[in-house]
């Protein structure tokens, strides 16, 4: 009964989301819609980290490495081919390959927690430094000038697949970005409910036990890492499509920090939370940027400190707990374990990370 | 010949500044297993304290060697009481909270002093080797690194405070049963670590551009050096700082400063892959 009810509720939520994505351009102004497009692209990035951190137990400080690689891969190939169809594919493939190499190095060396943080952080810095110093005519790939710290302006945006002449309008761009966000969310939700997803969570919970059951934690983590790199790369392509620009700040530490803040605020171990956190924080940052009264670092820092100290579970799990308290649950929680992710998960994740 | 001397001086400079930058973080990490990602901002605060008091008429040496460590040590004490003490044993949370703290400090300093570059003139003069110029301040920094190393070694090995600190580091529960209050040891260690970091910031103030965001340039390097060095505070940090400092300067000499940095980062990744416990986890086990 409850399971069927939950499935129905989820189906209704998905339908509502589809309708909302379809109708938004006719309801709100162009500027707000452009902003929403950016938020949706960023939310895809948030999902990529939410997946490996929340479910795989791998805290990567360098998710922007894949995001940036995706962005640059898209920009370079879009300038060369003048067609976004192969470019989007490349923006997924190149970061996944990079994630495969880096992940092999990390996980098959059994590197974890702080050390993994250092490595992902330094890789991001290496990419930032390298890309930042590519100003000059000698740094070009095909027709694309890398441009160093100035970045690459006037990148062709998305077009209708295989029709390079038909550039997407801002409305269509929004549909693509919002649709990708919803698609990524559903894909991850589906994956996590499949046996493969259970194995990912099992490895996060207890590597030794998972390997005694016959799974290779190194391989599972590597595949998780590659998938998350691919999603981050896709987010990079969406981001470049939004601004028609890519620069080395896409690799910056502050963006890496922001992703972690989104997830901490929204709720680690959920998929909805990071999206909520991302949109909320990005909205606040954009609002502060237009006000000039407060410094955005000040607010972001204060928010992060307050959440870690007072609301470590994040917004979405806290709200859900409150709702569950209001609505008397007809069945014990065991049935709902997957959707709810009870507090012990967060606790054991922290313990596992040490 | 002169060029080799200059490169040697550069390497010495790279190693000593990296060591000074990392020592405070190494003490905090080694003692409490807390990664302080606001480390770069402690450096920035030390540099600001130096510049502002020097520009207000305080003698530059006093500003550097007294004002900066005192101020940052106090800040560290307040932060430990208000924030860090809730996070012992929660490595990931402590990283997140100190990251938030670092943004907060950057925001506060930007709001007060604006996003402009400040600076003080470098004290001491320069000298020339052949046709190359260098400054006595480089030698002073190297001297300070040696002094700090000696002071930390002396305090940790020969004083009662050092004994208690080492005991708490090894086994907090046992130390507590012997009448030591670990919370107080942690508090003072954090403040001392912050003060040393402030001193490093003060010492580097004359040779670096001082902006609210300057800490970002140091935190990754310091983080990587401390983790690469491993658990031993002095031998680990010193060996990792020597390795990375030398790689950085030699790499920068043969290519460009940017690729020098890239080489250091690559060296760090390879080092951590080969020695997951850090250098001191392998070669200087049980040392300070």
**Is residue A33 within 8 Å of residue A174, measured between CB atoms?**
yes
Closest-approach residue (CA) in chain A for B225? A118
Q: Could you please report the per-residue DSSP string of B64-132?
A: IIIIHHHHHHHHHHHHHHHTGGG-TT-HHHHHHHHHHHHHHHHHHHHHHH-S--B-----S-EEEETTE
- Please indicate if any CB of chain A lies within 8 Å of the CB of B119: no
Average pLDDT, integer, range B136-145 = 87
- Please indicate if any CB of chain A lies within 8 Å of the CB of B220: yes
Closest-approach residue (CA) in chain A for B84? A309
Query: Does the structure show a pLDDT above 90 at B88?
Result: no
- Please indicate if any CB of chain A lies within 8 Å of the CB of B209: no
Q: Could you please report the per-residue DSSP string of B56-79?
A: TT--HHHIIIIIHHHHHHHHHHHH
pLDDT of the residue at A334: 46
Which residues share a beta bridge with B132? Answer: B129
- Please indicate if any CB of chain B lies within 8 Å of the CB of A256: no
CB contact under 8 A, B110 and A296: no
Give pLDDT < 50 ranges for chain A: 333-354
A45-69: per-residue pLDDT in tens? 999 999 999 998 888 888 899 999 9
**Is residue B32 within 8 Å of residue B190, measured between CB atoms?**
yes
User: How near does any CA of chain B get to the CA of A330, in Å?
Assistant: 35
CB contact under 8 A, A261 and B100: yes
Pairing of strands B132-135, B126-129: antiparallel
- Please indicate if any CB of chain A lies within 8 Å of the CB of B266: yes
Contacts of A61 (CB under 8 A, 6+ apart): A117, A120, A121, A124, A256, A260
Which is nearest to A353 in space by CA: A207, A199, A198?
A: A207
User: How near does any CA of chain A get to the CA of B92, in Å?
Assistant: 7
Which 42-71 residues of chain A touch chain B by CB within 8 A? Answer: 59
Q: What are the backbone dihedrals phi and psi of residue B283, each rounded to the nearest 5 degrees, phi first?
A: -105, -25
Closest-approach residue (CA) in chain B for A299? B104
d(CA A134, CA A153): 15
Q: Could you please report the per-residue DSSP string of A279-324?
A: HHHHHHHHHHHHH-SS-HHHHHHHHHHHHHHH-TT-HHHHHHHHHH
- Please indicate if any CB of chain A lies within 8 Å of the CB of B275: no
Most A-contacting residue of B105, B231, B272 (CB-CB within 10 A), to test interface: B272
- Please indicate if any CB of chain B lies within 8 Å of the CB of A12: no
- Please indicate if any CB of chain A lies within 8 Å of the CB of B257: no
**Is residue A201 within 8 Å of residue A217, measured between CB atoms?**
no
pLDDT of the residue at B286: 59
pLDDT of the residue at A331: 53
CB contact under 8 A, A260 and B111: no
Alpha helices in B230-278 (DSSP H): 233-254, 257-274
CB contact under 8 A, A305 and B104: yes
d(CA B178, CA B166): 14
User: How near does any CA of chain A get to the CA of B201, in Å?
Assistant: 21
Give me the residue label for tokens 């479910």. Answer: A55
Most A-contacting residue of B83, B97, B105 (CB-CB within 10 A), to test interface: B97
- Please indicate if any CB of chain B lies within 8 Å of the CB of A347: no
CB contact under 8 A, B106 and A117: no
Give me the residue label for tokens 């297993």. Answer: B33
A269-323: per-residue pLDDT in tens? 888 889 999 999 888 888 887 776 677 788 888 888 888 888 888 888 888 888 8
d(CA A329, CA A27): 37
pLDDT of the residue at B288: 66
CB contact under 8 A, B268 and A297: no
Pairing of strands A144-145, A159-160: unpaired
Q: What is the mean pLDDT of chain B?
A: 84
pLDDT of the residue at B17: 87
Which residues of chain A are within 8 Å of residue B93 when distances are taken between CB atoms?
308, 312, 350
Which residue of B100, B227, B258 is in closest CB contact with A308?
B100
pLDDT of the residue at B36: 85
B179-232: per-residue pLDDT in tens? 888 888 888 889 999 999 999 999 888 888 788 888 877 888 888 888 888 777
């Amino acid at each position: 009964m409850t399971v069927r009810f939950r499935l129905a509720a989820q189906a209704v939520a998905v339908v509502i989301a589809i309708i909302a994505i379809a109708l938004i351009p006719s309801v709100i102004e162009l500027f707000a819609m452009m902003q929403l497009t950016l938020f949706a692209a960023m939310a895809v990035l948030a999902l990529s980290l939410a997946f490996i951190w929340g479910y795989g137990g791998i805290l990567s400080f360098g998710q922007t490495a894949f995001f940036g690689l995706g962005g640059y891969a898209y920009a370079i190939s879009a300038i060369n081919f003048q067609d976004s169809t192969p470019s989007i594919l490349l923006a997924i493939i190149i970061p996944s390959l990079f994630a495969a190499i880096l992940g092999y190095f990390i996980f098959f060396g059994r590197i974890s927690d702080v050390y993994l943080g250092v490595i992902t952080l330094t890789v991001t810095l290496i990419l930032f430094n390298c890309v930042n110093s590519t100003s000059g005519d000698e740094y070009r790939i095909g027709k694309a000038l890398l441009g160093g710290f100035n970045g690459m302006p006037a990148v062709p945006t998305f077009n209708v697949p295989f029709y390079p002449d038909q550039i997407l309008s801002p409305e269509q761009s929004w549909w693509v970005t919002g649709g990708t966000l919803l698609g990524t969310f559903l894909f991850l939700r589906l994956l996590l409910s499949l046996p493969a997803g259970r194995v990912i969570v099992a490895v996060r919970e207890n590597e030794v036990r998972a390997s005694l059951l016959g799974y290779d934690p190194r391989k599972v983590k590597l595949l998780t890492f590659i998938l998350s790199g691919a999603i981050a790369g896709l987010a990079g392509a969406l981001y470049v499509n939004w601004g028609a620009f890519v620069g080395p700040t896409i690799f910056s530490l502050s963006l890496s920090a922001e992703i972690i803040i989104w997830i901490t605020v929204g709720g680690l171990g959920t998929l909805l939370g990071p999206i909520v956190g991302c949109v909320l924080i990005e909205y606040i940052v954009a609002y502060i940027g237009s006000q000039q009264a407060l410094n955005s670092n000040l607010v972001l820092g204060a928010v992060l400190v307050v959440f870690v100290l007072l609301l470590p579970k994040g917004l979405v799990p806290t709200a859900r707990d409150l709702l569950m308290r209001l609505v008397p649950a007809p069945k014990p929680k065991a049935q709902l374990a997957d959707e709810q992710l009870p507090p012990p998960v967060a606790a054991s994740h922290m313990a596992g990370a040490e | 010949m002169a060029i080799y001397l200059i490169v040697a001086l550069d390497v010495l400079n790279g190693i000593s500044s990296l060591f000074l930058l990392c020592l405070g973080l190494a003490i905090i990490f080694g003692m409490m297993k807390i990664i302080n990602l606001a480390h770069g901002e402690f450096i920035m605060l030390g540099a600001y304290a130096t510049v502002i008091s020097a520009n207000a008429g305080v003698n530059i040496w006093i500003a550097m060697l007294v004002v900066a460590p005192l101020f940052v040590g106090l800040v560290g004490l307040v932060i430990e009481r208000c924030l860090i003490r809730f996070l012992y044993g929660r490595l990931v949370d402590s990283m997140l909270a100190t990251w938030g703290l670092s943004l907060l400090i950057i925001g506060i300093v930007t709001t007060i002093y604006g996003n402009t570059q400040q600076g003080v003139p470098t004290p001491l003069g320069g000298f020339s080797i052949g046709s190359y110029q260098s400054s006595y301040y480089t030698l002073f920094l190297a001297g300070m690194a040696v002094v700090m190393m000696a002071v930390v070694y002396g305090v940790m090995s020969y004083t009662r405070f050092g004994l208690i600190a080492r005991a708490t580091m090894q086994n907090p529960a046992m130390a507590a049963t012997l009448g030591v209050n670990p919370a107080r040891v942690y508090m003072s260690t954090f403040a001392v670590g912050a003060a040393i970091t402030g001193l490093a910031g003060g010492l580097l103030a004359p040779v670096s551009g001082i902006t609210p965001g300057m800490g970002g340039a140091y935190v990754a390097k310091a983080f990587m050096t401390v983790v690469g060095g491993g658990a031993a505070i002095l031998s680990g940090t010193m060996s990792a700082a020597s390795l990375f400092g030398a790689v950085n300067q030699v790499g920068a000499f043969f290519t460009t400063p940017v690729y020098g940095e890239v080489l250091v980062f690559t060296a760090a990744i390879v080092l951590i892959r080969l020695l997951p416990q850090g250098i001191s986890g392998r070669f200087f086990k049980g040392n300070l």
